[in-house]
Amino acid sequence: MSRHNHRTMQQQSANQVRLIQSAVLCALGITVTVAAISLKGQSDPAEPTRACDLHFSNGYTLAGVPVAETVAQHTKGLSKRNDVGPGMLFTWPEPEPRIFWMRDTWIPLTIGFFDGDGRLFAIEDMQPNTDDHHASVHPAADALELPQGDFQRYGLQEGVRLTGRTCWLLDNEAMRKLEAE
């Protein structure tokens, strides 16, 4: 093989390596761009993705209550909000004793615990920015946090039952509104 052919082959090899490197970098750039675009539309996984109208045995319906169903949603709850709106329903697949606290929660709240049959069995006021524990004592399938005074305002007292829920998925705009509150 002549020197000229050897040098030409080396140049072709170097060009192929550069071409492959460029293709890999281009593909990586496209992947990062697509991932950034898809993540931009996603909201915080700690924000509720459903809301419900809650129907009670006393005839009252509480409209548009966000539902905390995941561990991340349970953990964040109503913390770091200036307005808690219609409160929040915390729900679990199985009734168990539950414990709540108010760290990083800026609004005084009241919590109500519901058993597996939907009966409200305990109501307790909670003060903002405290680590005091508020325990259900008995197994709870649901807990409802409302601004202080709302349980009384709506006639929700021990013995009232949560008789039904009309739920829907929150769209991205509704979720952004919740995040902004």
Same domain assignment for residues 91 and 154: yes
Distance CA 42, CA 33 (A): 15
Distance CA 113, CA 141 (A): 8
Same domain assignment for residues 29 and 63: no
Same domain assignment for residues 65 and 26: no
CA 49 to chain centre: 6
Count of domains forming the chain = 2
Count of CB atoms situated within 10 Å of the CB of 77 = 24
Residue 96: beta bridge partners? 140
Q: Phi and psi dihedrals of 166, rounded to 5?
A: -115, 110
Same domain assignment for residues 113 and 151: yes
> Which residues are CB-neighbours of 81 under 8 A, at least 6 positions away?
105, 106, 107, 181
**Contact of 67 with 52, CB cutoff 8 Å:** yes
Q: What is the pLDDT of residues 45-78, one digit of tens each?
A: 989 999 999 999 999 999 999 999 999 999 999 9
Same domain assignment for residues 77 and 159: yes
Of 24 and 161, the structure prediction assigns the larger pLDDT to 161
Q: What is the CATH number of the domain that holds 99?
A: 2.60.120.1140
Q: What is the pLDDT of residues 131-171, one digit of tens each?
A: 999 999 999 999 999 999 999 999 999 999 999 999 999 98
Distance CA 180, CA 67 (A): 17
Domain that holds residue 19: 1-40
Same domain assignment for residues 33 and 85: no
Same domain assignment for residues 13 and 96: no
Same domain assignment for residues 92 and 17: no
pLDDT band at residue 18 using 50, 70 and 90 as cut-offs: low
Q: What is the pLDDT of residues 89-141, one digit of tens each?
A: 999 999 999 999 999 999 999 999 999 999 999 999 999 999 999 999 999 99
Same domain assignment for residues 74 and 138: yes
